[in-house]
Structure 1
């Protein structure tokens, strides 16, 4: 790799596709032409170009203005952003050993580059002059917002610190950048390395045919034809835990899943977790904050850890008794079976399914035939069309980064181009777990008009088999709607500056557009649009829909408690004081014991694989999903109150005041412009079945 990179660095820039104007349809990245060896020289050139542009800003003699300082700084990083978006999206969705090596090499370099900008005294002096004199300038509301964000970014990066503290900040940032990369790479390797191989038919007892078929195909791909291979990817491990009748195998899979990166080997993340938490606390103290959480939440809707914890604890007190009752019901089923066993964590999914079937005569697996991926996708497109009048057209001759990826052009009802959306659905060893939305190009506005965004949805859904299409679980359907909501936020953005575009909003607001979309997924009239049996084409029966609705609040004690446990663990990690040593396993146990978490439930993410907070940008922010759920539950109620979940006026208001506005105003102001009042928590409690009524 080193030799290849050196040769690439010596190659002329005109041969590097990352350094050229893309000559592709809709100017998307020319993925087939981009090779690993192109990235290092492109990063070098991007950083160099930005340094030169910043030097020009600092050295100019003109009085600092918004245009010659703030707007110039905003556009200075365009070449580097172009390289970074492609690279970091690939390292998440389609990585390789070469890309991972570059990532480790570039992490500290990029941290240094960022510090060189935000700790540039001359640049900050100009930014501060514009900020202090803003009342004397005729700035639009969006310009004022960008100015404020820019000024705060400098201050929050240490621009006001003395030289010694700035040097300390640089060292902390450099180490943090490398540790977050290592955490994520360790987790990907650990998840990919585990496999449970079954070679006896009786060990498949209880598993649905779709899972057995997928496991056989997985084994064949791995050179073990005639056996069945199960992995720690969600599409494999979760249904295994739900349906396998072999308790010992459930225990084996569960422990492998919950002990990822906690096995004392080269992929162990405990020391990384401890160091990340400590470094973040140290950095916050340098900047004058009580904790990392205080630093982060200052810019979020919650504003303080106390306010975030107030909501989390209120919900915890409502949810824990429900979870305890759920555990008691499962124990009763186990007792009736006469096995004289106590309910354990690896039994929860299995016995929850039994209780669900017993109480509601509801089998989620029976719904799969009605949730063919392509049909669900058409349903999602139809919902977006009914709400916002937009259309989606498949693009056949457009570059994609992996053969399974599909691309669509998004248009207004009048045919006007909005943007491009990629969809990448299935697991592979080069992709990290989970589901997310990302951008290859964010919406902005230049002299020529609106710059159209290019966004992507990345998931890990159940794959099609040789004998059938991809059939989704209800959870996967909900995930699809969720990520599509993020995509709409990016696609429908209509702002001037990229820094304020689309999903560039506080963490506890960004989940509103995604989570509100989940509310449409299983509405009866929406199911009529897409829930068709993949063989017969018959619509999902009304009685099945009723059963699904009746069972929708089942197991919400568990779902809420495991989520809240992770959210509170995140907040505890990030409210430690500077210099406080951490032993992750001891720390985690202490926090869960104090909460009273029952032994049959683990936090949704344990410390060593809590990717959201240790390498995914959600540190002191995992609470945001439930914070946003207060918003989305209240927002969907606005549609329901009209008597029409596609009410045109309500949809127009949500698009205009939320989806189009990005980060151009305070989130609560945007929400109130839509709802005409602050959100109310009662709708969340009702949706989760946690209200007292």
Structure 2
């Protein structure tokens, strides 16, 4: 007799959590095959239903289908992204075309689409709720945009394109992870001179993780950034920076440049098959921005003041470097170092002195405390099996009632892809039965004892927890519009808005306590931190907007034969400062090439920031950052509603109007 596969069981565990202590890599492939077959059978039953199509037997039936598949993939993609290994990477490559073929088969099921189309055409007589009408519209639009209305050779070609894109996205991600995992720079004891203790400790911990007898610098952002900020050795900074910006462009099997070129060609062909002039027009149709020109207008309205500020800052840093006796032009590997020295001088802020006040545990407490004051949430630690020893879990309740399970996976490791993200292993829904969400925040903070964060790390923690609140406070009927299932240029609003609470003086005053003494951050230091909140914003805005403009150009200015040449063309056109590089150059631009998520959509962080700056002003204009009426309105109109209504309508319901760019420029310190 064979043992039952835990991935296919109904989980009679605490809160229905995945039984990670019973799941092995050997379970994934057979579970996926079984779940795919079960879902295919459910889809066939819906498509072949002899009854007249209606909302219940077609749209709701689709919503109810695929639960077993969701369960399997919820676990697999969690561990594949946060704790990968060769077996899981091989499975990703194997699963990607299978999943693409499965979704393509559903999208191209003519009998199924005929039923959806029939319900759509009879929608005015169905007496649907607002949410049901929204789900019907999104379902119908999604099928049309997936090619359900195509026939013959065009239909076949679209399915081939989608399968190939899925495989290329997986390869892009794994190549990037391989480059990040394989590179490290060993440091001698002499090389540690000038580095603050927290960087030395992180480098030693990274060396131990790499199996090296001594400290190393890796390509983890939480290590390489403070190294670039603090190392007086220009040669080592250059070596580390060149490794950082060349990820995915080192030649050989892990080079992503040809993959990026093929992805762009296939996306354009896909858009053409579906009747769009280019991929950007196809992609932006469903977003708040709607058109490529609207995106370009926003980005260029911010580019000019940001570039002017960055160039003024560059001149100051250049003078500082020459004062150190280096008669050379300011280079990208110099910016972090001299900018950190300038910040220390102008704001009397020293990262080494500041960092002990940003303990990971205290920042987690701060994010929880703000959620309690704003939304009444409580967090209780859970002792449950998780996928890695670094993970922690909490039960989230309100007025004693269960709301969600929240999992935090905070430390960098070689098995985890870079960056930070939020995902739901299970999303909130009321149909076909009530289910509470299981939400995960994944970060890449340097591991130390105690774990200390930079101020940027702390902002990242709050940012991802904002996404988590969007998932946890969701209160909709259908899972397809639950939580973060919203327009891409709206999804960053809750996360970027939540960052503002880190900057509230009373929050830092209570939770920014020294790791050794336990004392609160002195008011003088607190004032300096808040006073420096917009420091170097010209640099940060330039590196971001340049990336967003390159992404847009890739998808609405014709398919480039050589994406690297197109990247250079765009940067030259906008006058990119020589001492600043794109935040994400093409070969490691995972937002754009690891999948379609942010393709033509990297701008969305700034689109959302226009709203988050304006939304936080609403709190400040009312009773302050914890104003209960504004908090209730934020939950009612944005955090609880998911994608159950149009994003612009939701924002207007919260704020009374749509925002302009003024609050963003003011918040970034770029206003004239």
Match of 2:491 in 1: 510
- 1:382 touches 1:529 (CA, 8 Å); kept in 2? no
Q: Does 1:369 align with 2:365?
A: no
Q: Does 1:298 align with 2:285?
A: yes
* Cα deviation 1:128-183 (Å, max 9, x = unaligned): 00000000111000000000000001100111112110000011011101000000
Q: 2:121 aligns with which of 115, 129, 132?
A: 132
Match of 1:441 in 2: 426
Q: Does 1:596 align with 2:585?
A: no
* Cα deviation 1:407-441 (Å, max 9, x = unaligned): 000000x1000010000000111100000000100
Match of 2:532 in 1: 551
Cα distance in structure 2, aligned partners of 1:185 and 1:111: 18
Gaps of 5+ in 1: 1-10
* Cα deviation 1:372-427 (Å, max 9, x = unaligned): 1111111111100000011000001x120101100000000x10000100000001
Match of 1:426 in 2: 411
Q: Does 1:457 align with 2:441?
A: yes
Cα distance in structure 2, aligned partners of 1:99 and 1:314: 44
Cα distance in structure 2, aligned partners of 1:592 and 1:514: 29
* Cα deviation 1:538-597 (Å, max 9, x = unaligned): 1101111111122222211000000001111111111143xx442122121111111110
- 1:112 touches 1:170 (CA, 8 Å); kept in 2? yes
SS in 1 for 2:451: coil
Q: Which structure 2 residues correspond to residues 167-182 of structure 1 after superposition, within 5 A?
A: 167-182=156-171
Mark the CA change 1:354 to 1:121 in structure 2 (over 3 Å): closer, same or farther.
Answer: same
For these two proteins, the number of residue pairs brought into alignment is 671
Cα distance in structure 1, aligned partners of 2:529 and 2:138: 45
Cα distance in structure 2, aligned partners of 1:359 and 1:51: 63
Match of 2:88 in 1: 99
Please report how far the alpha carbon of residue 677 of structure 1 lies from its aligned counterpart in structure 2 after TM superposition.
1.2
Match of 1:477 in 2: 458
Cα distance in structure 1, aligned partners of 2:537 and 2:43: 52
Q: Does 1:240 align with 2:227?
A: yes
SS in 1 for 2:445: coil
* Cα deviation 1:301-324 (Å, max 9, x = unaligned): 000111011100110111111110
Q: 1:210 aligns with which of 174, 190, 198?
A: 198
- 1:438 touches 1:455 (CA, 8 Å); kept in 2? yes
Please report how far the alpha carbon of residue 447 of structure 1 lies from its aligned counterpart in structure 2 after TM superposition.
5.9
Q: 1:336 aligns with which of 323, 339, 343?
A: 323
Cα distance in structure 1, aligned partners of 2:208 and 2:370: 38
Match of 1:58 in 2: 47
Please report how far the alpha carbon of residue 222 of structure 1 lies from its aligned counterpart in structure 2 after TM superposition.
3.4
Q: 2:639 aligns with which of 659, 665, 674?
A: 659
SS in 2 for 1:407: strand
Q: Does 1:47 align with 2:36?
A: yes
Q: Does 1:410 align with 2:396?
A: yes
The TM-score, its normalising length taken from structure 2, stands at 0.98
* Cα deviation 1:284-304 (Å, max 9, x = unaligned): 011011111111110000001
Q: Does 1:383 align with 2:370?
A: yes
Match of 2:253 in 1: 266
Cα distance in structure 2, aligned partners of 1:222 and 1:301: 44
Cα distance in structure 1, aligned partners of 2:591 and 2:163: 20
Match of 2:617 in 1: 637
SS in 2 for 1:459: strand
Match of 2:482 in 1: 501
Q: Which structure 2 residues correspond to residues 607-618 of structure 1 after superposition, within 5 A?
A: 607-616=586-595, 617-618=597-598
Q: Does 1:17 align with 2:2?
A: no
Q: Does 1:76 align with 2:65?
A: yes
Match of 2:381 in 1: 394
Cα distance in structure 1, aligned partners of 2:440 and 2:205: 27
SS in 1 for 2:580: coil
Mark the CA change 1:630 to 1:581 in structure 2 (over 3 Å): closer, same or farther.
Answer: closer
Cα distance in structure 1, aligned partners of 2:477 and 2:190: 61
Cα distance in structure 2, aligned partners of 1:431 and 1:621: 24
Please report how far the alpha carbon of residue 349 of structure 1 lies from its aligned counterpart in structure 2 after TM superposition.
0.2
SS in 2 for 1:437: strand
SS in 2 for 1:458: strand
Mark the CA change 1:139 to 1:542 in structure 2 (over 3 Å): closer, same or farther.
Answer: same
Cα distance in structure 2, aligned partners of 1:223 and 1:360: 39
Q: Which structure 2 residues correspond to residues 339-354 of structure 1 after superposition, within 5 A?
A: 339-354=326-341
Cα distance in structure 2, aligned partners of 1:510 and 1:447: 25
Q: Does 1:317 align with 2:284?
A: no
Cα distance in structure 2, aligned partners of 1:593 and 1:205: 38
SS in 2 for 1:394: strand
Cα distance in structure 2, aligned partners of 1:229 and 1:335: 29
Cα distance in structure 2, aligned partners of 1:615 and 1:240: 27
Please report how far the alpha carbon of residue 680 of structure 1 lies from its aligned counterpart in structure 2 after TM superposition.
2.4
Of the structure 1 ranges 41-50 and 416-425, higher mean CA displacement relative to structure 2 is found in 41-50
Please report how far the alpha carbon of residue 59 of structure 1 lies from its aligned counterpart in structure 2 after TM superposition.
1.6
- 2:637 touches 2:654 (CA, 8 Å); kept in 1? yes
Cα distance in structure 1, aligned partners of 2:239 and 2:43: 55
- 1:365 touches 1:473 (CA, 8 Å); kept in 2? no
- 2:543 touches 2:580 (CA, 8 Å); kept in 1? yes
The TM-score, its normalising length taken from structure 1, stands at 0.95
Cα distance in structure 2, aligned partners of 1:584 and 1:552: 35
Of the structure 1 ranges 547-556 and 592-601, higher mean CA displacement relative to structure 2 is found in 547-556
SS in 1 for 2:529: helix
Cα distance in structure 2, aligned partners of 1:375 and 1:63: 58
Gaps of 5+ in 2: none
Match of 1:489 in 2: 470
- Runs of 4+ displaced beyond 4 Å: none
